Amino acid sequence: MTKTNRQISVAESRVMEALWERQPLSAEEITAEVGDEQDWSPGTVKSLLNRLLSKEAISAERDGRRYLYSPRLARADYVSAEGRGLLDRLFDGRVSSLLTHFSEHEQLSADDVAELKRLIEELDDGA
């Protein structure tokens, strides 16, 4: 067991999100957190936590009768891996392709455009 590199599923990533936001958390707290969006029974959260433990995506530290869980995988790393995967699968690995797609087929929000401009500035500027 305890195979590290396994894939984190969508449901599991919900739990990770809770932990990335605040940490460490008990199973109960996590159930409360995700209960906002998902409607999971405590048992479900338990299972997800155990799967995450065996994937070594989180760590658990005893706190009296219960455990407190913390992410072991950094969110940025997870996001990078997922983003990279999608980019490779759908956009031939190119951010530019993704951008083109979104500007052609989806709406770019004002925020998005502002960020685009900010990035350009930054890139033109130094770096």
Partner DNA sequence: CGCACTCGTTTACAATTGTAAACAAACTGC
Partner DNA sequence: GCAGTTTGTTTACAATTGTAAACGAGTGCG
Residue 21 engages its own copies in binding (rule: CB under 8 A): no
**Cis previous bond, 42, omega within 30:** no
C-alpha 52: how far from chain center:
13
For residue 10, state whether it binds DNA (rule: CB under 7 A): yes
Residue 92 interacting partner from its own copies, DNA, none (CB closer than 5 to 8 Å by kind) = none
Residue 53 sits in the site that holds its own copies (CB under 8 A)? no
70 contacts DNA (rule: CB under 7 A)? no
| 111 contributes a contact to its own copies by CB under 8 A | yes
20: CB partners within 8 A, 6+ apart: 71, 75
Interacting partner of 81 out of its own copies, DNA, none (Cβ under 5 to 8 A depending on kind): none
